[in-house]
A = this chain, B = another copy of it.
Amino acid sequence: MSFNEFPSRLLENAVNEFASLPGVGRKTAFRLVMNLLKRDAEDVKRFGETITRLHDEVHYCKICNSISDTEICTICSDEKRDRSVICVVENIQDVMAIENTRQYKGLYHVLGGIISPIDGIGPSDLKIDNLEEKIITGSIREIIFALSTTMEGDTTNFYLYKKLGKYNIAITTLARGVAIGDELEYTDEITLGRAINNRNPYQQ
C-alpha cells in the first residue's frame, strides 16, 4: 500500500505531522491518525491542545535548566536538598533517572546536550557558562560529572574539567564497573578491566 493519494487534505496533513516524528514512518503515522479518528472527539481535542500548549507553557528552571512548571523547579526550590553538590547531566531524562534511584540529595545542572563534533554540537551550544557562575558565586563543595560513558561524554567531561578544575572544589564522576545483575562473561573487556583495577574492599 503506497500513500500517494489521500482522499482528504486534512487526513494527509495529520499523517504528515505524525510522520515527522522520529521513528514514525508513513504507515505508522496513518495508523495513528486512523486511531485518533475512531476515538472520542473530546479526547482527541485534548490531545491536540496539549501539544499546542507545549512550547508556550513549558518552563526551563532558571537555576538548573531542567523542565519545570514554574520558574524555579521543585528540586532547586526544595530547602532540604544539599546545595553544595551539583550533578551535571546531559538532559532531563538523566535527572529523572537519577531521581528515581532516591540516592541523590544534591542539585542538578542540565547541559542540554553533549559535545559532539559529528553532530555539530560544540561547547557554546551547551549551558556551561551559568555552571561556572554557580561555582564562583555559590558555596559549591562538589561537582559530579554524570554524563554517558561514550566518546562524546568523555570529551565533554574533559572540556568541563579544563574549565572548572582551577576552582577549589571536588570534581567526581559516577563509579564505573560491572552493572548489578550482569554476568561476568557478557561484560565488555573495558568495563571488566576497569572494574578489576578499581576493585573495592569486600563488604559483608
Contacts and interface: CB of A to CB of B under 8 A. Distances in A.
Interface in A81-123: 91-93, 95-97, 99-100
- Classify the secondary structure of A's interface with B: helix
Contacts of A73: 7
A46 B73 CA distance: 28
Interface string A1-27: 111111111110110010011111000
Given A21-B32, A33-B54, A48 B49 contact: yes
Contact of A58 (B11, B21, B56): B11
A93 B45 CA distance: 23
A21 B5 CA distance: 24
Contact of A22 (B1, B35, B48, B59): B35
B13 A50 contact: yes
A93 B51 contact: no
Contacts of A51: 14, 17, 36, 44, 47-48, 51
Interface stretch (A62-70, A135-143, A165-173, A175-183): A62-70
Range, interface on chain A: 35 or more
A190 interface: no
A28 interface: yes
B52 A48 contact: yes
Given A1-B97, A10-B58, A11-B67, 14 more contacts: A1-B96, A5-B96, A6-B96, A7-B68, A8-B68, A14-B50, A14-B54, A24-B32, A34-B92, A37-B55, A37-B67, A45-B55, A48-B52, A49-B52
5 contacts: A7-B74, A8-B58, A10-B53, A11-B67, A45-B56
Interface of A: 1-11, 13-14, 17, 20-24, 28, 30-37, 41, 44-59, 66-69, 73-75, 91-93, 95-97, 99-100
